[in-house]
Amino acid sequence: MKRPLFFAALFVLGCVFVNAQSISDDLLNRYANLEPNGKSPSHYFTQEEQSVLREYLKTNTSETNVLGGGTLIHGAQNSNSEFGNFDPSDLTTFNTIGPSLSTSDFESSGDIDPSNLTMGYVLTLSTGEFYSIDITTGTYTSMGTISPPPGQDWNGLEFDPATGILYGISSDFSSTSSLSTIDVGSMSYTLVGDTGMLGAISIAITSTGEMYGYDVVDDNFYSINTSTGAATVLGPVGFDANFGQDLEWDDASGIMYMVCYNAGVFEGEVRTVDLTTGATTLIGDLIPAVTGTQMAWAAIQNPPVLSVDDTAFLNFVIAPNPASTQLNLSSEVDSLVFINVIGQRVLEILQPVSTTIDITSLSSGMYFVEVQKEGEKAIFRIAVE
């Protein structure tokens, strides 16, 4: 959300020079009067204009580092029309898997299915084109259309890892933002309720079932009641959020990531969020070699949360995590399958004779362990050092 004093400063400065390029009154005026929305900067400015604005606005910003690594955040890099992933501990590299969605509408929303960690779903902004996407190949498959609530645009999709329910958030970016559930089978949505937010841009759900979102009109962070849709403000995010962006919870680290677009500096960024206050901490620019990088949706392969009905896995533990040479199981199992982050089954153990599992054949990295036990299945995530 633009600040009135900043508007005044822009107009007083008028025409300035940045890297030998002049910034015109017209460009400053269009930037100052830009309304909050969930689209892309390219809907409003040419690439050259974005570069001029970025150089004009960019100031020294403090960055922090998130320790560790191995978590991959998947999504569409809208600025380069690519689908792929990046590691938040290294923002310099975007691993391209394939082209992003080819459509006249904007690819605004997506998430990965916790019950099938190589499958995701994508919605477009205005027309609601609905696609499945193979996370390992980047292949999009059209499934139909789910039009957003009247007068609104789709801005976010999110699975609840405990219930498997898929939620969608939509907004008109002026007065109404609605929470809905999405039925993939019938290609329809059911309205949960009005959040009370003016410009909800994204949602994320933790492993304990709490939903959060933030607003690009008032730049505040909210908790959201999944039963009623009602949102409660937690505090300001601390920057000028605009255009398409997303939140994503990382179950392995317990970190809420924000893959955002900071209109105050005209740059894509990655931040972490304090879930108590809503305050964000800048990690750094998203793929700094590509100026103005935008990802309107982001997703992490979070496995499903075990419910109380999964009696075979009550109190079941795999340790240590991280591991190096072996894993210890708290009880006997029928089978284990180790799947790497690109969906390859790299190790299968049927009817293990011991609760101590040799993993010396695995390379360092993150793995999903699909465990079968007493006719039930559960997925765990481990790191191998």
Where are the domains positioned within the chain?
Answer: 4-57, 73-299, 311-384
The CATH number of domain 311-384 is 2.60.40.3080 = yes
Tens-digit pLDDT profile for residues 98-152: 999 999 999 999 999 998 889 999 999 999 999 999 999 999 999 999 999 999 9
Instruction: In whole angstroms, give the CA distance from residue 26 to residue 52.
Output: 13
Instruction: In whole angstroms, give the CA distance from residue 363 to residue 186.
Output: 42
Q: Looking at residue 323, what DSSP letter applies?
A: B
- On whether the CB atoms of residues 165 and 149 are closer than 8 A, the answer is no
Tens-digit pLDDT profile for residues 164-190: 899 999 999 999 999 999 999 999 999
The better pLDDT of the pair 353, 306 is held by 353
Q: Which of the four CATH numbers 3.30.70.270, 2.40.50.140, 3.30.530.20, 2.120.10.30 does domain 73-299 have?
A: 2.120.10.30
Region 205-210 average pLDDT: 91
Average pLDDT, whole number, for the chain?
A: 89
Longest Cα separation, the chain: 76
Edge-first strand order for the sheet with 326-329 is 318-319, 326-329, 356-358
State residue 22's pLDDT score: 64
- On whether the CB atoms of residues 345 and 379 are closer than 8 A, the answer is no
Region 193-222 average pLDDT: 97
Tokens matching residue 78: 């809208």
Task: Using alpha carbons, select from 26, 16, 27 the residue that is nearest to residue 50.
Answer: 27
Distance of CA 346 to the CA centre of its chain: 27
Radius of gyration of the chain (CA): 22
State residue 65's pLDDT score: 60
State residue 20's pLDDT score: 36
pLDDT bin (cut points 50, 70, 90) of residue 236 is very high
pLDDT bin (cut points 50, 70, 90) of residue 60 is low
- On whether the CB atoms of residues 105 and 40 are closer than 8 A, the answer is no
Residue type, 25: D
Query: Strands 166-171, 188-194: parallel, antiparallel or unpaired by DSSP?
Result: unpaired
Instruction: In whole angstroms, give the CA distance from residue 48 to residue 160.
Output: 40
SS3 113: coil
The better pLDDT of the pair 68, 180 is held by 180
Task: Using alpha carbons, select from 280, 236, 241 the residue that is nearest to residue 257.
Answer: 280
